[in-house]
Structure 1
Amino acid sequence: MVVGIEILEAMSHFSSMFNGLARSFSIKRAKNPGNGDGREAAEAMAKDAKKNDLILRSSGVVNTDGSDNFASVFSRRGQKGVNQDCAIVWEEFGCQADMLFCGIFDGHGPWGHFVAKRVRESMPSSLLCNWQEALARASLDEDIDLESDKKDQRFHIWKHSYLNTCALVDRELEHHRKIDSFHSGTTALTIVRQGDLIFVANVGDSRAVLATTSDDGTLVPVQLTVDFKPSLPQEAERIIQCNGRVFCLHDEPGVHRVWLPHDESPGLAMSRAFGDYCVKDYGLISVPEVTQRHITSRDQFVVLATDGVWDVISNQEAVQIVSSTLDKAKAAKHLVESAARAWKKKRKGIAMDDISAICLFFHSTPLS
């Protein structure tokens, strides 16, 4: 898509909710005249972020000076081989001081770790491009009043950007020359925080749980996402209508999996994922569920974790484990290690899955 001068001029008149975008976008465009779709601009932003140590991958902590966010990240390899989980936290996402992007990815299949890392690498920059273009289109649409309902307009723009991004990432992955994703894939759970709003996009069975303070002062969990398992009626219906099959193996009662019409494969335990092209014609999709939440003073933190955590830890237990960790930099590690111990007690004889978590606190100075 060609972004012309008139769009750049219109962007300079955005309301305060978009302050900073026109500046960063115009600067990158000036350095790259003739850029057709803004992708170079987004990639340049990613490079700048890396140089400034604003991107964290895998295990660690992010606490940028002056930021309202504090993120703790940890991942532990299971007993099935290489760790196929990976994560990312990106402060000042898109060169916007009030924005953060974080995501957790759970690969599966022979090439799952490569697929997960590829999606982690490609999704943020693609999302930035789609977000910039959606903002530009909205600024030129006379039927859209950006000032009338900022919250709804933000959500519409982010949802549209996420839908386009996930479709593009899945298409590009299918044609990647060095990654065989026919029988391999990854889930993706990501969050964008923009000021006092968070936008959650979920593809697969990882889960986001918010910890908020109730009227009596106790912390309670609020599940922000749906675990997209084949056992969900709406998911099973779609798969069956596409001639896929959903059933449990005799030695795994209660674990519903996705199967090809006439073959005992691939046996996926999730109904949405990137990759896995062997079953993309049979009901598996990479369409995200996108939701938003307004963050208030009662909301303390959000946990993003792969199913390796939620298979053995309840939402309430996760909130208690994280809130009870005195050193918040170690909160994700405490949760992951607690899940690993729970695996040994609750799932004896079953190989432990990879276990990963991000704990995103909504305070620059974490609560102790």
Structure 2
Amino acid sequence: MIEQAMKHLFLKFNKLTKSLTPKKWRNSENASVVSGRESAEAMAKSAKKKDLIIHGSGSINIDGSSNFVSSFSKRGEKGINQDCCIVWEEFGCQKDMIFCGVFDGHGPWGHFVAKEVRESMPIALLCNWEEALVQTSLLHPHLELNSTKTNLHFNLWERSYIEACAVVDPELERHPKIDTFHSGTTALSIVRQGETIVIANLGDSRAVLATSSNDGNSMLSPIQLTIDFKPNLPQEAERITQCNGRVFCLQDEPGTQRLWLPNGKMPGLSISRSFGDFCFKHFGLISMSDVTQRSVTNKDLFVILATDGIWDVVSNQEAVQIVHSTIDRKKSARRLVDYATCAWKRKRPRIAMDDMSVIVLYLHSSPLHQ
């Protein structure tokens, strides 16, 4: 029942908050009630101390968990690496939850924006998820998650993601040290809770699920879980033009449709959804994630989250085969990046290589089907 889950969650919140609150505050009236945001921040701090959170390259495998994660990020040829990523095991102090995210910054301050969203997005999501549980418990105190589990579970997470986006973007605009007018970031994340995965995306990073085929073929089937939100998509282009933005490609970039301001040629944005980039926010650019859900089956092996530097030169099928053929799971993300690096040099020799970041979330504790 939600009520039982709520009680369990709050007990952990209260215990954790008490342990992280300075002694001089504990008896004060101001510390008697700790906000959801403070609770989420306290959990993040505790998770870092326990090595449950990794940034950038690495792997994580907690005893007793069915999750195994490999991640790797590589700087391209355009300067500083503006990609970043995060893996948070036992997300929200829940043994069966994990959060993974990749963020692709762009613009002069893009690397700062990406890192800021990497820190703020999971905390805002966790805070809103907690509040959604509270409100649902109050409205339906005896509701059981059986036949309605799928719809209710998705509604809670979708609402939490949408409200988190509505918090993160305004905070970026008000940030005193980061210029987000001409800089921004994409955000692709996944939450696995038990045998359900929830995927949220804005921008052109991509999540691909590898699943075994029904016909017994050794080849895996890739299932793209996200949409590449680019300005040339009909629904995106319609929104942009209705807001007086423009969508077209330059003569020296045939086939690359960009979002442009009503007047002037600079800057042009190759995505239609992002955090930051406030010069475009009145002209069709939005910061709303597209949220979807999927149940994990025995045939589902792993999910690849990667920034567009990978997908520009590697197909979904190639990506899942590269990961699947990697014997040492810890090296799978790096192996995919290395493969994409070679593919870029072969396919785009005259174009500076983009940053590349990959997270591979294995859905079973043992290397099934390998």
Normalised to the residue count of structure 1, the TM-score between the two structures is 0.93
Contact 1:213–1:299 (Cα < 8 Å) also in 2: yes
1:190 is matched with which residue? Answer: 189
**Cα distance in structure 1, aligned partners of 2:34 and 2:245:** 40
Contact conserved, 1:115 with 1:185, CA < 8 A, in 2? yes
SS of the aligned residue for 2:241 comes to helix
User: Contact 1:71–1:361 at 8 Å: present in 2 too?
Assistant: yes
- Post-superposition shift, 1:38? 1.2
Correspondences of 1:135-146 after superposition (within 5 Å): 135-142=133-140, 145-146=143-144
Measured in 1, the distance between the counterparts of 2:85 and 2:97 equals 17
Question: Which deviates more, 141-150 or 108-117?
Answer: 141-150
Q: C-alpha distance in 2, partners of 1:198/1:140?
A: 25
Counterpart secondary structure, 1:222: strand
**Take 2:11 and 2:152, find their aligned partners in 1: how far apart are those partners?**
20
Tell me the equivalent position of 2:366. 365
2:83 pairs, out of 85, 89, 93, with: 85
Structure 2 Cα separation of the partners of residues 16 and 197 of structure 1: 19
Compared CA separation, residues 243 and 144, structure 1 to 2 (3 A): farther
Quote how far apart the aligned CAs of 1:29 are: 6.3
Structure 2 equivalent of residue 172 of structure 1: 171
2:138 and 2:3 map into 1 onto residues whose CA distance is 13
CA distance in structure 1 between the aligned counterparts of 2:69 and 2:367, rounded to whole angstroms: 9
How many Å separate the matches in 2 of 1:151 and 1:101? 19
Secondary structure of residue in 1 paired with 2:327: coil
Q: Show the counterpart of 1:271.
A: 272
State the AA in 2 paired with 1:53.
Answer: D
Show the counterpart of 2:227.
226
Check the 8 A contact 1:207/1:307 in 2, yes or no: yes
How many residues align? The count is 356
Task: Name the aligned partner's letter for residue 159 of structure 2.
Answer: H
Contact (CA 8 Å) 2:2, 2:143: kept in 1 or not? no
Aligned 8 A contact 1:29 1:38 in 2: no
Say if 1:39 and 1:233 are closer, same or farther in 2 by CA, change over 3 A.
same
Distance 1:246 1:238 in 2: 11
Aligned counterpart, 1:6? none
Contact preservation (8 Å) 1:71, 1:360: yes
**In 1, are the aligned partners of 2:207 and 2:303 still within 8 Å (CA)?**
yes
Are residues 1:20 and 2:20 paired? no
2: CA distance between counterparts of 1:144 and 1:206? 40
Instruction: Check 1:230–1:25 CA distance in 2 against 1; reply closer, same or farther (3 A cut).
Output: same
SS at match of 2:207: strand
Partner residue in 2 for 1:262: 263
Show CA shifts across 1:94-122 (max 9, x none): 11000000000000000000000000011
Q: Output the CA distance in 2 between the equivalents of 1:288 and 1:319.
A: 25
1:212 corresponds to which letter in structure 2?
T
- The percent of aligned pairs where both chains have the same amino acid is 62
CA-to-aligned-CA distance 1:68-117 (integer Å, 9 cap, x gap): 10000011111100000000000000110000000000000000000000
SS of 1:134's equivalent in the other structure is helix
Q: Equivalents in 1 of 2:123, 2:33: separation in Å? A: 15
- Specify the SS of the correspondent of 1:158: helix
Aligned CA-pair RMSD: 1.7
- Whether the 8 Å contact between 1:17 and 1:150 is mirrored in structure 2 is no
Counterpart residue number, 1:205: 204
The residue identity in structure 1 corresponding to 2:169 is: D
Q: How many Å separate the matches in 2 of 1:352 and 1:98?
A: 37
Partner of 1:342 in structure 2?
A: 343
Could you tell me which residue of structure 1 aligns to residue 254 of structure 2?
253
Conserved 8 A contact 2:259-2:271: yes
Pairs within 5 Å for 1:12-161: 14=2, 20-28=8-16, 33-35=31-33, 37-142=35-140, 145-147=143-145, 148-161=147-160
The SS at the match of 2:178 is: coil
The residue that corresponds to 1:4 in the other structure is: none
Structure 2 residue aligned with 1:236: 237
What are the ranges of 5 or more consecutive residues in structure 2 without an aligned counterpart?
none
Partner of 2:307 in structure 1?
A: 306
Partner SS state of residue 21, structure 1: helix
| Structure-2 separation of matches of 1:18 and 1:325 | 40
SS of match in other structure, 1:258: strand
How far apart, in 2, do the equivalents of 1:184 and 1:144 lie? 47
Structure 1 stretches of 5 or more lacking a match? 1-12
Which residue identity lines up with residue 195 of structure 1 in the other structure?
G
In 2, the alpha carbon distance for the partners of 1:293 and 1:327 equals 27
Q: Is this contact kept in 2: 1:92–1:99, CA < 8 A?
A: yes
CA–CA distance in 2 between the matches of 1:203 and 1:254?
Answer: 21
Residue 324 (structure 2) pairs with residue 323 (structure 1): yes
Answer whether contact 1:212 1:220 (CA < 8 A) is retained: yes
Distance of aligned partners of 1:49 and 1:58 in 2 relative to their CA distance in 1, 3 Å threshold: same
Q: Distance in 2 between matches of 1:38 and 1:19?
A: 15
- Cα distance in 2 for partners of 1:336, 1:35 equals 46
CA shift at 1:144, angstroms? 8.7
TM-score normalised over the length of structure 2: 0.93
Deviates more, 1:131-140 or 1:28-37: 28-37
Q: Quick one: which amino acid aligns to residue 355 of structure 1? A: M
2:283 matched to 1:282? Answer: yes
Q: Residue 303 of structure 1: SS of its match in structure 2? A: strand
**Residue 22 of structure 1: how far off its partner (Å):** 3.4
